[in-house]
Amino acid sequence: MQTKHKPMTNVATEMVENQNQAFEAWVKEMQQHIESVLDKSLPPTDTIPKRLHEAMRYASLDGGKRVRALLAYATAEFCGASMEKADAAAASVELIHAFSLVHDDMPCMDDDDLRRGKPSTHKKYGDALALLVGDALQSLAFQLISEDLHIRSPQKIKILHLLALATGSRGMAGGQAIDIDSVGIPLTKDELETMHLHKTGALIRAATLMGAYSAYRQDEDKVKAADHFSKSIGLAFQVIDDILDSEADTATLGKTAGKDADDNKSTYVTILGLDEAKKLADELYTNAMAALSFYGPEADLLRHLANYITKRSF
């Protein structure tokens, strides 16, 4: 009896579907894992000062896509590090991100009442406590790395340096300062790129490189590839955010839709138009994938993450 073979197109489709399902399962697993790591890392609510610790947990847990943690874990695997070795890097970068959102939502900054589908931290706990929440989360991020027993001291120093640089005036805080100074001022594409390479891209780049440096030994070629990948994907993340902000509604985004445009801020959509912004996102995706072109299956998680970031509709 002659065996019937599936057409090659069907086989290829099944392979892609299987890979996508495996990646989706990995994302869910890692999201649950980092939630557990954060839960254990944050002080419990019965520890004094109880209300501050309650607010820290409110701001950090049960929400978000955890893209920065996913990048840290995927790059750690790419560079040969175990998940446990990347836990401190992944958790610390998520705490820094949470702190930035708490401060960014405050009335003196972007003044947003909604974050991750629930009231912003300052709306629930007041401005003064929200300010302290951000400060405490930032400190805890560096504490986690310094106390981690899974990585050696030279690695810790490098990871701490990367996180500090990405958080400060030459990274996220600097990008936010440029953003504040640019309200009502039309920016060029290059000026907007400079702002977002600091404000959004710096922490995404740090998350990726912190994952790489979680490995016991670094393959410098892989570190360079991951760095080039992160620069493109970090900027693509912001372009997609601007696109979603113009197309999606508040319920879908979990934050106020269209707020930047309403506040007279430049975005990739307002500068380039929607179609050109989408083309730019595609170009950045292509550049990110090209950075991994010399590598095989060991880079597949990063490839899938590039697709996850640039093709998201939420």
* 139-164 pLDDT, tens digit each: 999 999 999 999 999 999 999 999 99
Domain that holds residue 86: 24-310
pLDDT at 258 over 70: no
- Over residues 47-62, the mean pLDDT reads 97
Maximum distance among all Cα pairs of the chain, rounded to whole angstroms: 78
Q: How many domains does the chain have?
A: 1
DSSP state of 135: H
Residue 269 in domain? yes
pLDDT of residue 12: 47
Residue 15 in domain? no
Residue 229 in domain? yes
pLDDT of residue 211: 97
pLDDT at 8 over 80: no
**Alpha-carbon span 230 to 282, nearest angstrom:** 15
Helices (H), the chain: 8-41, 50-60, 67-78, 83-104, 121-125, 127-147, 153-167, 172-181, 189-196, 202-212, 220-247, 250-253, 259-262, 268-272, 274-290, 300-310
Continuous segment of H or E residues that includes residue 115: strand 114-115
pLDDT at 3 over 70: no
Residue 7 in domain? no
Question: Nearest 5°: phi and psi at 46?
Answer: -90, 5
CB of 71 closer than 8 Å to CB of 305: yes
Q: With bands split at pLDDT 50, 70 and 90, how would you rate the model's confidence at 297?
A: very high
CATH number of the domain to which 294 belongs? 1.10.600.10
Using CB atoms within 10 Å of the CB of residue 184, give its burial: 0 to 12 exposed, 13 to 18 middle, 19+ buried: exposed
Q: Tokens representing 285? A: 């995706």
Bridge partners of residue 8, in order along the sequence = none
Lowest mean pLDDT among 10-24, 72-86, 151-165, 291-305: 10-24
Q: Tokens representing 282? A: 């595609």
Residue 17 in domain? no
- How many alpha carbons fall within 13 Å on the CB side of residue 84? 4
pLDDT of residue 96: 98
For 8, other C-beta atoms within 10 Å of its C-beta total 8
Residue 41 in domain? yes
Residue 160 in domain? yes
Q: What is the dihedral of CA 58, 208, 210, 74, to 10 degrees?
A: 80
Question: Quick one: which of 169, 162, 103 has its CA closest to 130?
Answer: 103
Residue 144 in domain? yes
Taken in order 175, 178, 184, 189, the sign of the CA dihedral is: negative
pLDDT at 302 over 70: yes
Encode burial over 108-134: b for 16+ CB neighbours within 10 A, e otherwise: eebebebbbeeebbbbbbeeebbbbbb
pLDDT of residue 1: 44
For 297, other C-beta atoms within 10 Å of its C-beta total 8
DSSP state of 298: G
Using CB atoms within 10 Å of the CB of residue 171, give its burial: 0 to 12 exposed, 13 to 18 middle, 19+ buried: buried
**Alpha-carbon span 29 to 195, nearest angstrom:** 33
DSSP state of 200: I
User: Taking phi first (over 0 means left), then psi (-120 to 50 degrees means alpha), and beta for anything else, what does residue 195 get?
Assistant: alpha
User: Which residue type occupies 20?
Assistant: N
Average pLDDT of the chain is 90
Using CB atoms within 10 Å of the CB of residue 91, give its burial: 0 to 12 exposed, 13 to 18 middle, 19+ buried: buried
